[in-house]
Amino acid sequence: MRCQLCLNFSWQPICKECLDRLFVPTPKKRVLQDGLNVYSCYAYKDIKELLHTKHTLIGSKVFSILTRHALLPLTQNFKCKDIFSIPIDDHTREGYSHSAIIAYELRTVFTPLYGALRAKNRVRYSGQKRDFRMKQKRDFRLTCKEGISVVLVDDIVTSGSTLLEANATCKKGGVDVAFALCLADASG
């Protein structure tokens, strides 16, 4: 196939040269109001176009490629035994779940617990105003055993309200959240 960006021959929809040239990670740590550390590796504005790409060939592969390129190397610093990952609300709306793909690509570092944290409130968030999103509770249901340590995984962190709610749900369920990992940070 061809790289969808430079059109050179490539085994992947985005070639290594384009990744290295256009998607240099910009790691960031954000601390939410409850003290949860959120690590991300891109500013949302820098990868927005790629995530919303119309190139159907790329599709969910973008999340795999960027996770392997940027987030996986970042997690090597955190590599420790017996930490699981929980992809947030990995419900498949469009045939695949972004957070589940990211958790899958990080599986050598954290064992994914798919479907462990699903929202009972199925409100569509995209295109909604910030205060609408802030007021909407996701009403998460946690279905994993107590006493484990996890990292929360999501594609994009915006206000942080989803992560705050997810963290609170985990705490209530006796699950320790070490930190959160997101591909992109949409704040500022």
Give min distance, CB of 182 to Zn ion, in A: 25
**CA angle, corner 39, sides to 70 and 150, nearest 5?**
105
Helices marked H in 61-160: 61-66, 72-75, 98-105, 130-135
Q: Are 90 and 114 in contact (CB under 8 A)?
A: yes
> In the complex with Zn ion, which residue's Cβ is closer, 5 or 41?
5
Q: Say whether residue 101 binds Zn ion (CB under 5 A).
A: no
Give min distance, CB of 58 to Zn ion, in A: 12
Among 2, 9, 12, 15, binds Zn ion (CB under 5 A): 15
Among 18, 66, 150, 157, binds Zn ion (CB under 5 A): 18
Q: How far apart are CA 116 and CA 72, in angstroms?
A: 21
> In the complex with Zn ion, which residue's Cβ is closer, 17 or 176?
17
Q: Say whether residue 19 binds Zn ion (CB under 5 A).
A: no
* Segments of 76-116 assigned E as strands: 83-87, 111-112
* Interface residues toward Zn ion, by CB under 5 A: 3, 5-6, 15, 18
